[in-house]
């Protein structure tokens, strides 16, 4: 639906053009002949600020064009005007892009903003909390990391790769705490996800040898 994407991309400027046309018609012919143009301008401008171009941003991300996604995000001038669930997605996307740049402090700020707004999808909450947990672990804050990852698993994680990663991280935390029975349980849950990502599979293989020698 290329035409629809173009419509979203230029919706604001179409609204401004309609408003300018409405003003001209109003001055030359009166209010009622210009009413439809005023109404069109109102709808176009309000939806631009209320909904934003998130559909376009998602397409950029799916194509791996992170620079394009970031540029499109920068076109959202007033994120506080976005509809609340969409505002939550906006901050999630900002957080994801910051993580790709290894800017974990900025990513954490955006993820926490997203969580504070709530989400229409419980799985999105789980994904956000998992990322916050992984960032906390990278900072060496095992207690906070464990808390976020447990919350993520409770909320539900949308894909098996991420779920396996969460269980593996919990397994490693339990090993560090010398809670070997819990570590083995989390390891079994990670394997049960049957991940296909080579990175996750390699982690499972590395842990498998160690787990088999653990007591408990």
Residues 67 and 41 in one domain: no
- CA 168/CA 174 separation, integer angstroms: 10
Tens-digit pLDDT profile for the chain (216 aa)?
677 888 888 899 999 999 999 999 999 999 999 999 999 999 999 999 999 888 888 788 778 788 888 888 888 999 999 999 889 889 988 988 888 788 888 989 998 999 888 765 556 788 889 989 988 888 889 999 999 999 999 988 878 888 999 999 999 999 999 999 999 999 999 999 998 888 888 888 888 888 878 776
| CB-CB neighbours of 54 under 10 Å | 18
DSSP for 156-212?
Answer: --SSHHHHHHHHHHHHHHHHHTT-HHHHHHHHHHHHHT----HHHHHHHHHHHHHHH
Residues 211 and 151 in one domain: yes
In a domain, 46, yes or no: yes
Domain that holds residue 172: 141-180+193-216
In a domain, 130, yes or no: no
Residues 23 and 71 in one domain: no
**Helices (H), ranges, the chain:** 2-29, 31-50, 54-62, 66-73, 84-100, 104-117, 122-138, 142-155, 160-176, 180-192, 198-212
Residues 100 and 167 in one domain: no
Residues 13 and 58 in one domain: no
Stated pTM of the model: 0.74
Question: Residue 49 is encoded by which pair of tokens?
Answer: 């600020």
Say if residues 95 and 128 touch (Cβ distance below 8 Å): yes
In a domain, 132, yes or no: no
Residues 111 and 66 in one domain: yes
State the total domains in the chain.
3
């Amino acid at each position: 639906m290329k035409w629809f994407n173009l419509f979203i991309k230029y919706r604001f400027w179409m609204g401004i053009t309609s408003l300018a046309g409405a003003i001209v018609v109003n001055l030359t012919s009166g209010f009622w002949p210009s009413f439809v143009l005023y109404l069109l301008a109102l709808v176009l401008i309000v939806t631009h600020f209320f909904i934003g171009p998130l559909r376009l941003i998602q397409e950029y991300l799916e194509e791996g064009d992170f620079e394009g996604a970031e540029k499109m995000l920068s076109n959202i001038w007033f994120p506080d005007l976005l509809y609340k669930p969409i505002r939550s997605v906006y901050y999630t996307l900002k957080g994801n892009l910051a993580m790709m740049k290894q800017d974990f402090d900025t990513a954490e700020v955006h993820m926490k903003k997203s969580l504070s707004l709530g989400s229409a999808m419980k799985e999105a909450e789980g994904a956000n909390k998992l990322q916050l947990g992984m960032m906390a672990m990278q900072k060496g804050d095992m207690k906070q990391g464990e808390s976020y990852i447990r919350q993520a698993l409770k909320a539900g994680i949308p894909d098996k790769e991420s779920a396996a990663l969460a269980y593996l991280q919990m397994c490693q935390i339990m090993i560090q705490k010398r809670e070997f029975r819990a570590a083995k349980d989390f390891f079994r849950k990670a394997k049960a996800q049957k991940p296909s990502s080579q990175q996750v599979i390699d982690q499972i293989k590395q842990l498998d040898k160690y787990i088999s020698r653990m007591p408990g």
